[in-house]
A and B are shown apart, each in its own frame.
Chain A
């Protein structure tokens, strides 16, 4: 494997792994705080058990999230020294604030996990809230760093030099808001569906139904609400991408030829050599409408982009289809849940209804990974859009492929372990929490 590909794969692997843990680390504390609140208010012991059980999950995920995040902050330099040398001072602002947020999160988590029976009830509850809020804040901050790579600003690039650096302007770049919004919503929908799915499975198996019903409800209310908002925020993201990164948009849509009444292509197999999509479903004018709110406007296609600046079309297109397909599906499931909640209470315990959520367990995370693939692969060949190429950034140390194999092995082992531990947690629910 060539070193450059190895470095890219290692980066993608590490991020793809970290993102799962960080999303759970952002959202689970919120769920935990809600069930904690209900326990304080109702004194129903089931809520206390749910809170404690979840907090153990949070501790496991937090530790894995923290180690994988620590690795990332080194990997940025280990793999992309050429990038960090120039980008560090520009997009470092969100990272240093993120450091603060992590720190607060770690402190609050210490209080929360070890504070049972030691701290004042409400103070204890607030520390849980702080964990959630600082987790979400750190997520938003890193995404600001990433959005800067997509939409660089806050500096002038003159003759290969980076001048007039303004870290604040770099942080609040144009893409910042839409990315942060979409990402936060994604974290809630993915985690919400995953947690709800696991509890749905336990209800389906008729184990500890009281415990799992309460957990299910907290998780799915957030998951479903987020899933319904997701396509709206995705539309904002797509409009932004069209404006700032036309090459990415064209690759997402596998849209080769600039034209009026630009069609939206659903599915299909892009053929880059022949510049067309086979077997796709074309809806004329819809892409123009989505991008410019008008069916007949011209949308720029890949033919406007020099070949050496084009991202890989097929991967970007497939990943985008996966995300949007799943997003639409999740939206419908979300709507269905609210119908059940408000109008058709009877559905809630029906096997078909539970099965739906069991099947939907991994969907959010699949969409999340697909979405990041769109964003990152769609930015290629640039590491900083329009400014620096990924190939200029890579480390000159040879032999990266071996570290890539090593990391693959480690991440794989870690994942197996985490799944194993969670399974044990769930198995122990009857023993620990049943009287």
Chain B
């Protein structure tokens, strides 16, 4: 059962990254779109993500619940040392969620209020994935120092360091990339398609650059990322697969047809990155300064709880997955 629970944990993290990430990306794209195109972009985005966006964010809740039920020690350590970035993440989530809903459901579409909602939405779309990345980076990079004596070392430098920030930027770039690819399939005007493809390419380049930054930062902070990735078969294969799919993506993206394929490929690429990072560190989930760590295989709740949680997740997914699939299916663009 433990492995099933762990599988669900990784699956929900990945799905949150892919689906929620594309959502964040929608806001990021809006941020980097020239004023004259903003309105159109916004409309396309809204049509694309409106019906599914609540559901996309449920994966985060599932992740948190699995962590606190199944791995309570890990959860409480993260909550203690990463209190501040988690808090900022929460602020981002609040601002984004409410701004998105308010701008669509405000009965009077006044210029000033809409502007306010848009600004909130756009900036929080940037901040939220940034801090998601920072949190992930901090958990894995061994910068958390339980022995720290003062506030700054215990609660600030645990996450405010080159490596975590680079991971944050990388996350933002990936989200933008996912969203641009996703939205290519949501519009029919050739102009728009061209624009979004261009966006996707730019974000892709930015992501590769940020990925490079992550490696550089890992050297500066002695995280040793390259050693792990190249020292582990699964992650090496995953990295190679991601790189190949990148080449393939650039190759087929210019043709205006395979839009579903492009989406799958982008999703594949991002999942490979996650798998590569996850597998280098597995089963360690939080790593502390000095090398001690918390492991998914040992720091879990009692067997009874894990069993019940596993059953709960399996039963739950029997209800959720078909319904979710049908939701995505129903709101695929049916026009034409």
Contact with A along B269-284 (1 / 0, CB 8 A): 0000000000000000
- Whether the Cβ atoms of A100 and B73 lie closer than 8 Å is no
**For residue B301, which residues in chain A have a CB less than 8 angstroms away from its CB?**
88-89, 92, 165
Which of the 9-residue segments B51-59, B167-175, B206-214, B223-231 touches chain A? B51-59
Contact with A along B39-53 (1 / 0, CB 8 A): 000000000001110
- Whether the Cβ atoms of A107 and B83 lie closer than 8 Å is no
CB-CB under 8 A for A103 and B79, given A78-B87, A410-B91: no
Q: A275 in the interface, Cβ–Cβ < 8 Å? A: no
Q: A67 in the interface, Cβ–Cβ < 8 Å? A: yes
Chain B residue at smallest Cβ distance from A91: B69
**For residue A99, which residues in chain B have a CB less than 8 angstroms away from its CB?**
58, 61-62, 65, 316
- Whether the Cβ atoms of B330 and A70 lie closer than 8 Å is no
**For residue A89, which residues in chain B have a CB less than 8 angstroms away from its CB?**
69-70, 72, 301-302, 305
Q: B251 in the interface, Cβ–Cβ < 8 Å? A: no
Q: A243 in the interface, Cβ–Cβ < 8 Å? A: no
CB-CB under 8 A for A67 and B72, given A103-B316, A118-B330: no
CB-CB under 8 A for A100 and B312, given A92-B305, A110-B327: yes
Shortest distance from the beta carbon of A13 to any chain B beta carbon, whole Å: 14
Which of A97, A395, A417 is B83 in contact with, Cβ under 8 Å?
A395
- Give bound CA distance, A87 to B73, whole Å: 11
Q: A81 in the interface, Cβ–Cβ < 8 Å? A: yes
Chain B interface size range: 35 or more
Q: B308 in the interface, Cβ–Cβ < 8 Å? A: yes
Which of B62, B68, B93, B107 is A88 in contact with, Cβ under 8 Å?
B68
Q: A149 in the interface, Cβ–Cβ < 8 Å? A: no
- Whether the Cβ atoms of A77 and B320 lie closer than 8 Å is no
Shortest distance from the beta carbon of B132 to any chain A beta carbon, whole Å: 13
Interface of chain B, main secondary structure? helix
- Whether the Cβ atoms of A78 and B86 lie closer than 8 Å is yes
**For residue B60, which residues in chain A have a CB less than 8 angstroms away from its CB?**
70
- Whether the Cβ atoms of A106 and B58 lie closer than 8 Å is yes
Shortest distance from the beta carbon of A302 to any chain B beta carbon, whole Å: 34
Q: B108 in the interface, Cβ–Cβ < 8 Å? A: yes
- Whether the Cβ atoms of A77 and B98 lie closer than 8 Å is no
Q: B64 in the interface, Cβ–Cβ < 8 Å? A: yes
**For residue B93, which residues in chain A have a CB less than 8 angstroms away from its CB?**
67, 70-71
CB-CB under 8 A for A73 and B61, given A118-B330, A397-B83, A428-B108: yes
Contact with A along B3-17 (1 / 0, CB 8 A): 000000000000000
Q: A111 in the interface, Cβ–Cβ < 8 Å? A: yes
- Whether the Cβ atoms of B79 and A70 lie closer than 8 Å is no
Which of the 9-residue segments A54-62, A246-254, A303-311 touches chain B? A54-62
Most chain B CB within 10 A, of A60, A62, A95, A106, is at A106
**For residue A392, which residues in chain B have a CB less than 8 angstroms away from its CB?**
none
Shortest distance from the beta carbon of B324 to any chain A beta carbon, whole Å: 6
- Whether the Cβ atoms of B64 and A84 lie closer than 8 Å is no
Chain B residue at smallest Cβ distance from A76: B68
Q: A421 in the interface, Cβ–Cβ < 8 Å? A: yes
Taking CB atoms and an 8 Å cut-off, the chain A residues in 153-168 that contact chain B are 165-168
- Whether the Cβ atoms of A73 and B65 lie closer than 8 Å is yes
20 A-B pairs with C-beta separation under 8 A:
A59-B104, A63-B54, A66-B54, A69-B61, A73-B61, A77-B68, A77-B75, A78-B79, A78-B87, A92-B69, A92-B301, A93-B69, A93-B308, A93-B309, A96-B66, A99-B62, A100-B312, A107-B324, A107-B327, A167-B309
Binding site for B on A (CB under 8 A): 56, 59-60, 62-64, 66-71, 73-74, 76-78, 81-82, 84-90, 92-93, 95-100, 102-104, 106-111, 113-115, 118-119, 165-168, 395-399, 403, 406, 410, 414, 417, 421, 424-425, 427-428, 432
Q: A88-B301, A100-B316 are in contact. List 6 more A-B contacts (CB 8 A).
A: A63-B102, A73-B68, A81-B76, A106-B57, A165-B305, A396-B80
